[in-house]
Structure formats: structure tokens, C-alpha cells
Chain A
Amino acid sequence: MRKTAAKSVQLVLITSVLASCAQPQSQQGGEAKQRVFMRADSTAAYTEVTDNYSQERSGLGMGNALLWYMAFRHLGGGLGYANNNLHPQSVAGTNAAKAAAFQAQRGGFGRTAVSSPKSSYGA
């Protein structure tokens, strides 16, 4: 019977996603001047994405805004890696697998959630 248990709970992922919520406010000032460059493959060129997310988002630090940007960046153009927030030159480089992934159709799921934004789509 699995009614109660003496737990030794260890979590790997959750705290890495959310621990930065507790970052002190004092970090904000210096971070506003940072610039961010990204690429989705080590053989692709970096392009700047600094303007693609708000550094002042929720009043949190740069690291946190970047985290949220990466977690929730929007898909644009139905092209997977090639979302509007990352320049196409920075997507695949010479990586044939990623270039192939670039060709898949995207955006065929998720429409209902976009049309009815909620805090959760569970029950």
C-alpha cells in the first residue's frame, strides 16, 4: 500500500528552471547594457538577439529574462528552428540534420492554447 512514504526527494530540473526567481533586484542595473548573441548550432554564425526580449521583464535580472526568452520564444513562420527571434543564418550551419529539421512543418499543434491564454491548460 503506497499511502505514505519516507521521502528523500531530489529534483534535477525544476530548480534549474525557476531558482532564478529569487535573484536579488540589485542585479538589474548593470545587466541592462548586456548584449546577447545566439546560435542554434556550433557550426552556425552568432547573431544578436538582444532586442528580441525585454530586459526589464517582470523587473527581474538579465539571466532571468534570458531564461524566459529561451523558454517561451515564439515560433514564427512555421519553421521550427527558424523562428523570428533567431536569424536563419544562426540555425543550422553545416549540420545536415538540423537543416532537414528546418524543413518540417511546425505549428500544427498549440493553436487552441494560443487562442485561449490561461495559466494552465490542465484540469
Chain B
Amino acid sequence: MQIKNLRIDPAWETRLESIGYGYHSTGGVPYWIDDYYYEISNQEADLIYNATNELWQMCLNAVEYLINKQEYKHFHIPSFMTPHIERSWEQDDPSIYGRFDFAYDADHGQLKMLEFNADTPTSLFEAAIVQWYWKKHYFPELTDQFNGIHEQLIESWAALKPYLKGSILHFSCAKETLEDLTNVEYLRDTALQAGIQTKLIYIDDIGWAGNGFVDLEGTPIRSIFKLYPWEWLSREDFGVHIVADPNRAQWIEPSWKMLLANKAILPVLWELFPNHPYLLASYYNRPTHLMHFVKKPILSREGANITMYYDGQEIYHTEGEYGDEGHIYQELATLYRAQTGFSIIGSWVIGQESCGISFRESDMPITTDKSRFIPHIIRH
């Protein structure tokens, strides 16, 4: 795996915007990298593919374990939500997607799971579509990419269609965020292509009619995909209606994903699969035997409120508004470092199968919302 440079296409911004990618830069600073990329080997792609599939099964085992033991205390989930979580698991309420973030130690050929973005993973549109069009622009037809995301999404929606409640699948996200709207509209696009009838409704436009959730036209919401964190939904005014809903609306991602999206799952995985080669040692309390580790809030997004320790001393800290619910401690991973920065691998699991990757790069060894998206190809 290595960084390679390209002669930049002077019209790269226009090219990206023509396929509907409107947030390639933030304040004039590119978020999307067009003029360099990662070249990975087939063996590295296989390693990521196998690790993702295995970790997904391990995560499902961990959910089963937690629900059987009803052991939720470290997760700080509102107690009224636990029956909903258990019901959604027992009913096999389907998940459509998730993204594992990996550290890659090239010297030892080791992948380590940093976390699992199980509830509201973003950068899906960049990974599935933008980097595919990027490859088509710069490389010959036979050049490959670890990216079957688009096809996998359509196939997964088609497989899921018979199990959806009602005739319409609503899609929802917050207002005034182009990134989330693009991701949701992309997902809705793939659902449409799978033959599902869909409607878009912003999260704050969802209505409660006393006997169920309704959209802006009063149509009952029976199945809904939401790009909005479960921990926020459950703590807002309508959160109690989710549990009381007579229609028992089907939420995607399902509420059992609250267990996997929470970093409190990391010590559970380490307990269930100690010393597993894809895992980093993780604990609820500060480990006395580790000198290099990271302190992460159990609920946080985009690298906020992370503290990194080396030789027991704090060396990095990111700002944010998370951490009230508690933290976990995770062994410090070796990140892949190129001349352009530190990179992590985002690996997508869609419809139960690994199907594509993306790279995010930062100037410091913590990935944040400012981290750059780097496309890739597979070397043959």
C-alpha cells in the first residue's frame, strides 16, 4: 500500500459537481483528494475483506451476548429503549450498512479495528460513487478498485424489500447538511433502483399523530431509514413514541445497532475475543499495564474529545462536546503513515458482506471531520 501522485485535472471541482458531489471542499480546503491516491495490492484487499467479514460476525455475536445477559450498564442507553432494542434484535430487524475503521500496520501486515460506525456512517457517496468516477477518469477500464458498494446496496435493498413494513420506505436526515442529504439521497436512489417506493422527510418534519408517526402528507411511517444517531432520537421529545408506536415502525438502522455504534462495545469484543488479531485491547477503566493508549468517549463522532497517551503522558487531544456518558480506553494502534499524513481505512459492510473501502488522511494521528478522503486503486 503506497501513495501515488497524479497530475491534477484542472477541472476536478466541476467534474465532481457534475456527478452531484457538492462538498468536496470546506472553506476552500479540499476534503476530497484528486491528485494523489492509494495503490493497494490484491493481498491487502483480501486482508481487509476477510477482516471485515469476520469482525461483522464477531459484532453480531457480541450483540447476542449483551442481549442474553441484558448487560447494558456501560452503554448509557435510556432504559425505556432496551425493550425496543431487544425486540428489534429478536425480530431480526435488518441492518443495511456499517463502516469499520481500521489502522493498518504495513510493517507487520496487521489490521486493527479502531471502531465500528454502525449507526450513522457517512462518506458512503464518496466511497461508492465519487472514487469510482475518479478511477474512470484517471485510469484505464481494466484498473480495479475494492468497491462493489453500489451493486451491493441495490442487491441488499432488493433482498430486504419483502421484509419492509408498509408500501413506502421513508428516508430522513437533518436539515441544512448537504453531506447528510447527499448520503441519504444516494441511499434512496439505490433503494429506488431495487424497486422500493420511497419518500424523503427531514427528521424535524416527522409528525406524531397520536397513533403513529406520519410524514408531511399525513401518510403513516411504517418503515424509515434515518441518518440521525439513535442516541439523539431516543433522547428527544418524540423518543418515547418510538417505543409506544402502535405501528411499530421499522427503523433502519435498527435500534440494536445502538449497542454496536457505542464504543462501550470495544471492551466487550476484547472480553469475548481476547487477543484476537483484528482487535485492540480495550477497557472500561484506565489500564495500568498499558503505557500507550487512547481515551475515547463512548458516544462521539468524527474524532471529537479523543485523548492520546504515550508513555503515560497525554500527547494529543481533540476538542468537542462529548464525554458526559463516559469513556473507554483502547490500546494505541500503529497508523499507516505516508509523506502526506496519517491514514485509516474505512471498510464497508453492506447487507452482511464486505464490499468496499475508503481512506481518510489527517495531519495528526486522530481522524476528524477535517480529514481528507483519498481514493484508491488495486495494483495488478
Known contacts: A3-B355, A22-B17, A123-B302. The answer to whether A106 contacts B180 by CB under 8 A is no
The answer on a CB contact under 8 Å between B150 and A106 is no
When C-beta atoms are compared, the residue in chain B nearest to A116 turns out to be: B321
Tally of contact residues, B, Cβ under 8 A: 79
Q: Choose among A9, A18, A104 the residue that contacts B182 (Cβ–Cβ < 8 A).
A: A18
Q: Flag A90-121 by CB within 8 Å of B: 1 or 0 each.
A: 00000001101101111111111110111111
When C-beta atoms are compared, the residue in chain B nearest to A97 turns out to be: B218
B12-59 contacts to A, CB under 8 A, are 14, 17-23, 26, 45-46, 49
Task: Note all chain A residues with C-beta closer than 8 A to B150.
Answer: 5, 7, 9
The answer on a CB contact under 8 Å between A75 and B205 is yes
Q: Number of contacts between A and B (CB, 8 Å)?
A: 198
Q: How far is the CB of A71 from chain B (nearest CB, A)?
A: 7
Task: Note all chain A residues with C-beta closer than 8 A to B120.
Answer: 121-123
Bound Cα distance A21, B20 (Å) = 8
Q: How far is the CB of A81 from chain B (nearest CB, A)?
A: 6
Task: Note all chain B residues with C-beta closer than 8 A to A81.
Answer: 216
Bound Cα distance A64, B21 (Å) = 15
Q: How far is the CB of B122 from chain A (nearest CB, A)?
A: 3
The answer on a CB contact under 8 Å between B179 and A120 is yes
Q: How far is the CB of B32 from chain A (nearest CB, A)?
A: 13
Bound Cα distance A12, B129 (Å) = 13
Segment of B78-86, B184-192, B276-284 in the binding face: B184-192
Bound Cα distance A96, B237 (Å) = 27
Q: How far is the CB of A115 from chain B (nearest CB, A)?
A: 10
Segment of B158-166, B228-236, B329-337 in the binding face: B228-236
Q: How far is the CB of A18 from chain B (nearest CB, A)?
A: 4
Question: Is B241 part of the binding interface, using a Cβ–Cβ cutoff of 8 Å?
Answer: yes
Question: Is B354 part of the binding interface, using a Cβ–Cβ cutoff of 8 Å?
Answer: yes
Segment of B63-71, B102-110, B170-178, B286-294 in the binding face: B170-178
Bound Cα distance A12, B18 (Å) = 13
Question: Is B151 part of the binding interface, using a Cβ–Cβ cutoff of 8 Å?
Answer: yes
Task: Note all chain A residues with C-beta closer than 8 A to B235.
Answer: 112
Task: Note all chain B residues with C-beta closer than 8 A to A75.
Answer: 202, 204-205
Bound Cα distance A5, B26 (Å) = 31
The answer on a CB contact under 8 Å between A2 and B151 is yes
Interface of B is mostly: mixed
The answer on a CB contact under 8 Å between A101 and B353 is no
Interface of A is mostly: loop
The answer on a CB contact under 8 Å between B238 and A108 is yes
Question: Is B227 part of the binding interface, using a Cβ–Cβ cutoff of 8 Å?
Answer: yes
When C-beta atoms are compared, the residue in chain A nearest to B155 turns out to be: A2
Segment of B206-214, B266-274, B311-319 in the binding face: B206-214
Q: How far is the CB of A8 from chain B (nearest CB, A)?
A: 9
Task: Note all chain A residues with C-beta closer than 8 A to B168.
Answer: none
Task: Note all chain A residues with C-beta closer than 8 A to B256.
Answer: none
Question: Is B181 part of the binding interface, using a Cβ–Cβ cutoff of 8 Å?
Answer: yes
Question: Is B363 part of the binding interface, using a Cβ–Cβ cutoff of 8 Å?
Answer: no
Task: Note all chain A residues with C-beta closer than 8 A to B321.
Answer: 116
When C-beta atoms are compared, the residue in chain B nearest to A9 turns out to be: B150
The answer on a CB contact under 8 Å between B17 and A18 is yes
Q: Choose among A12, A80, A113, A122 the residue that contacts B203 (Cβ–Cβ < 8 A).
A: A113
Question: Is B324 part of the binding interface, using a Cβ–Cβ cutoff of 8 Å?
Answer: no
Question: Is B305 part of the binding interface, using a Cβ–Cβ cutoff of 8 Å?
Answer: no
The answer on a CB contact under 8 Å between A17 and B177 is no
Interface residues, chain B, with chain A CB atoms under 8 Å away: 14, 17-23, 26, 45-46, 49, 117, 119-123, 125, 129, 132-133, 144-148, 150-152, 173-183, 185-186, 188-189, 192-193, 202-209, 214-218, 227-229, 232-233, 235-238, 241, 261, 301-302, 321, 353-355, 369, 378
- In the A-B complex, the 6 residue pairs with the closest CB atoms: A110-B204, A101-B218, A108-B238, A104-B207, A122-B122, A14-B20
| Extra A-B contacts (16), CB below 8 Å, given A4-B148, A110-B204, A120-B369 | A3-B45, A4-B144, A7-B151, A11-B186, A13-B192, A15-B18, A18-B22, A71-B181, A72-B175, A104-B218, A105-B209, A106-B208, A108-B208, A109-B236, A123-B119, A123-B229
Interface residues, chain A, with chain B CB atoms under 8 Å away: 1-5, 7, 9-15, 17-19, 21-22, 71-72, 74-75, 80-81, 97-98, 100-101, 103-114, 116-123
CB-defined A-B contacts under 8 Å, sample of 16: A2-B353, A5-B150, A5-B151, A7-B147, A13-B186, A17-B185, A80-B216, A98-B218, A101-B215, A110-B204, A116-B321, A119-B23, A120-B369, A122-B120, A123-B121, A123-B301
